């Protein structure tokens, strides 16, 4: 009998049962115009869920014979898979949750290409056009429920966190669940899985049957943060910027747990939006929380933020250390304020149309060596603009650490060279060194080799960086 890890097939449910021949061909097309390479990458990451790895290149290299094909049969669509990771199967059958996540991958890749990217009705060179595209992507993934009270709490944090931090995220999630709040995360392990796991128990105690565990990802990051098993609503956005916008449009409040470069990117993106003058009066509760043992983490993050962006940025962030109950109460009260504001302004409960996100925050940033050297990192600009520039630095570091394209760039051209105001560079170097010392940069990295070189001395022309 053939091992299930060698060959298997299944039929997805729902609307994908009637995928057209053209759409099926796109998923199997290996040319630049086709979706097969992207489909294969995302599918392999989903099927590798639960394995401790965040290296996109290594994942592909470890499964060179993995193939996934889409066939249109008389009774509908059939997915044929060869040489998938063995952990995706229970005896002879693929785990049901993984089948659902694979179906979401197909749905979102096809919809994004045919209905958004290749559709002239969506102007992706315009701010409202992008916001409208994110709306349609989320609606197609059935993430918006118009007859539901606001209750979606975004949880951000690292996939590489300590056991103590992970247990704390579960505690917070439990108290959110008791208050019938739903969880939306980047869908991966660590601080993305913990709150969901805790909320499952909280929802159960309240006999709350409609709990939603929303996972938002994008193709470049899915190998590092493959959907965890608790996610019951998965959406793959086309790029990191649309993913970040989706968080802010769909969520009613945010909790930030300790993390690494990716979490710092999220914090800076959030501040680049909240600090914009047009968003001054829009309520959006944000709390940074961690166990007492991780207090130093947020001390370092807030020191960097206050130095670079000033006291107003610091004031937008509430800090609650070792306070899981107070954190849940803070979000519950904050969400009530959001609801009142949406009612007063006739804004939708399920999508934050009023929030202003400038086009510069929405336009995909390609982390190439050339683009990174062009970044303007100094204080001679509004704080929300500086936050946007700093966010791109951390986006590049994430790409160099775990994304397939970013890692290939580092391999070809060496570390990203990051330069700007000398004092800011010194503070950034200090912050990143603390992340490295706490092993927050990569899963299982005993001797992390930085993918960046922070230029703390303007006369320095070196591209070698070593964090001891």
CATH of the domain at 30: 3.30.1850.10
User: 3-state class of 443 per DSSP?
Assistant: coil
For residue 76, what pLDDT band results from cuts at 50, 70 and 90?
low
Of residues 94 and 336, more confidently modeled: 336
Same domain membership, residue 188 and residue 290: yes
For residue 462, what pLDDT band results from cuts at 50, 70 and 90?
low
**pLDDT, averaged across the chain:** 90
Same domain membership, residue 350 and residue 376: no
Same domain membership, residue 107 and residue 72: yes
Residue 462 falls inside a structural domain:
no
Of residues 6 and 37, more confidently modeled: 37
Same domain membership, residue 354 and residue 207: yes
Q: Is the pLDDT of residue 75 over 70?
A: no
Q: Residue 2, CB half-sphere, CA atoms under 13 Å: how many?
A: 11
Q: Residue 254 is part of a domain; what is its CATH number?
A: 3.40.50.450
Q: Is the pLDDT of residue 460 over 70?
A: no
Same domain membership, residue 368 and residue 349: no
Cα–Cα distance between 48 and 355 in angstroms, integer? Answer: 36
For residue 221, what pLDDT is reported?
A: 85
Query: Are 35 and 113 in contact, with CB atoms under 8 Å apart?
Result: yes
Residue 124 falls inside a structural domain:
no
Residue 27's domain comprises 7-82+94-119
Average pLDDT over residues 295-324: 97
pLDDT tens digits for 175-220? 999 999 999 999 989 999 999 999 999 999 999 999 999 999 998 8
The residue length of the chain stands at: 468
Same domain membership, residue 168 and residue 280: yes
Of residues 460 and 41, more confidently modeled: 41
CA dist list (Å): 297 to 137, 150, 403? 35, 31, 25
Q: Is the pLDDT of residue 11 over 90?
A: no
Q: Is the pLDDT of residue 465 over 50?
A: no
Of residues 133 and 404, more confidently modeled: 133
Residue 464 falls inside a structural domain:
no
Q: Is the pLDDT of residue 451 over 80?
A: yes
Of residues 439 and 341, more confidently modeled: 341
User: 3-state class of 18 per DSSP?
Assistant: helix
Residue 132 falls inside a structural domain:
no
User: pTM for the complete prediction?
Assistant: 0.92
Strands (E), 34-127: 67-73, 76-82, 89-90, 93-94
Same domain membership, residue 225 and residue 198: yes
Same domain membership, residue 443 and residue 305: no
For residue 1, what pLDDT band results from cuts at 50, 70 and 90?
very low
Average pLDDT over residues 385-390: 98
> Do the bridges between strand 182-185 and strand 213-217 make them parallel or antiparallel, or are there none, so unpaired?
parallel
Residue 444 falls inside a structural domain:
yes
Same domain membership, residue 347 and residue 381: no
Residue 59 falls inside a structural domain:
yes
Taken in order 310, 313, 318, 320, is the CA torsion positive or negative?
Answer: negative
Cα–Cα distance between 356 and 215 in angstroms, integer? Answer: 23
For residue 3, what pLDDT is reported?
A: 43
Tokens of 77: 């669509």
Residue 1 falls inside a structural domain:
no
For residue 53, what pLDDT band results from cuts at 50, 70 and 90?
low
Average pLDDT over residues 285-312: 97
Q: Quote the crossing angle between the two packed helices 422-437 and 261-274, to the nearest 10°.
A: 140
Of residues 23 and 297, more confidently modeled: 297
Same domain membership, residue 437 and residue 375: yes
| pLDDT above 90: percentage of residues in the chain | 67
Same domain membership, residue 311 and residue 401: no
pLDDT tens digits for 369-386? 999 999 999 999 999 999
Same domain membership, residue 106 and residue 223: no
Q: Is the pLDDT of residue 138 over 80?
A: yes
For residue 31, what pLDDT is reported?
A: 81
Residue 125 falls inside a structural domain:
no
pLDDT tens digits for 85-98? 888 888 778 888 88
Final residue before a domain boundary, out of 308, 328, 358:
358
Average pLDDT over residues 38-44: 87
Range in 31-40, 161-170, 357-366, 454-463 the model is least confident about:
454-463
Average pLDDT over residues 109-132: 93
Final residue before a domain boundary, out of 306, 324, 358:
358
By CB atoms closer than 10 A (0-12, 13-18, 19+), residue 106 is buried
Number of domains in the chain: 3
Cα–Cα distance between 47 and 278 in angstroms, integer? Answer: 43
For residue 160, what pLDDT band results from cuts at 50, 70 and 90?
confident
């Amino acid at each position: 009998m053939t091992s299930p890890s060698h060959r298997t097939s299944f039929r997805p449910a729902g609307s994908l049962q009637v995928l057209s021949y053209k759409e099926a061909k796109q998923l199997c097309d290996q040319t630049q115009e086709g979706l097969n390479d992207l489909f294969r990458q995302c599918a392999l990451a989903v099927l590798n869920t639960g394995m401790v790895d965040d290296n996109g290149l290594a994942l592909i290299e470890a499964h060179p014979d993995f193939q996934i094909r889409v066939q249109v049969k008389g009774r509908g669509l059939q997915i044929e898979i060869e040489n998938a990771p063995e952990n995706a199967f229970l005896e002879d059958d693929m785990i049901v949750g993984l089948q659902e996540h694979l179906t979401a991958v197909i749905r979102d890749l096809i919809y994004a290409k045919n209905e958004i990217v290749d559709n002239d009705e969506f102007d992706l060179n315009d701010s409202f056009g992008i916001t409208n595209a994110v709306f349609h992507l989320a609606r197609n993934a059935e993430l918006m429920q118009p007859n539901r009270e606001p209750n979606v709490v975004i949880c951000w944090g690292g996939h590489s966190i300590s056991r103590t931090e992970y247990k704390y995220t579960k505690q917070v999630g439990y108290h959110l669940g008791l208050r019938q709040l739903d969880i939306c995360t980047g869908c991966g392990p660590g601080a993305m899985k913990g709150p969901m796991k805790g909320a499952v128990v909280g929802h159960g105690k309240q006999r709350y049957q409609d709990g939603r565990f929303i996972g938002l990802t994008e193709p470049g990051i899915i190998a590092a943060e493959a959907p965890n098993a608790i996610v019951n609503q998965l959406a793959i956005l086309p790029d990191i910027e649309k993913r970040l916008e989706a968080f802010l449009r769909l969520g009613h409040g945010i909790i930030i747990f300790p993390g690494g470069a990716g979490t710092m990117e999220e914090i800076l993106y959030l501040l680049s939006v909240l600090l914009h003058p047009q968003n001054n009066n829009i309520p959006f509760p944000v709390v940074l929380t961690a166990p007492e043992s991780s207090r130093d983490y947020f001390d370092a993050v807030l020191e960097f933020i206050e130095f670079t962006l000033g006291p107003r940025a610091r004031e937008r962030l509430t800090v609650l250390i070792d306070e899981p109950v107070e954190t849940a109460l803070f979000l519950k009260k904050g969400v009530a304020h959001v609801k009142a504001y949406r009612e007063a302004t006739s804004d939708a409960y399920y999508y934050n149309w009023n929030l202003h996100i400038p086009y510069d925050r929405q336009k995909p940033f390609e982390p190439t060596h050339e683009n990174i050297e062009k970044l303007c990192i100094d204080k001679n600009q509004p704080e929300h603009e500086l936050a946007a520039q700093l966010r791109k630095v951390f986006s590049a570091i994430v790409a160099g650490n775990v994304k397939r394209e970013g890692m290939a760039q580092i391999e070809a051209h060496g570390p990203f060279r990051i330069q700007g105001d000398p004092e800011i560079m010194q503070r950034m170097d200090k912050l990143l060194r603390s992340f490295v010392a706490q092993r927050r940069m990569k899963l299982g990295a005993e001797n992390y080799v930085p993918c960046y070189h922070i230029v703390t001395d303007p006369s320095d022309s070196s591209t070698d960086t070593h964090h001891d």
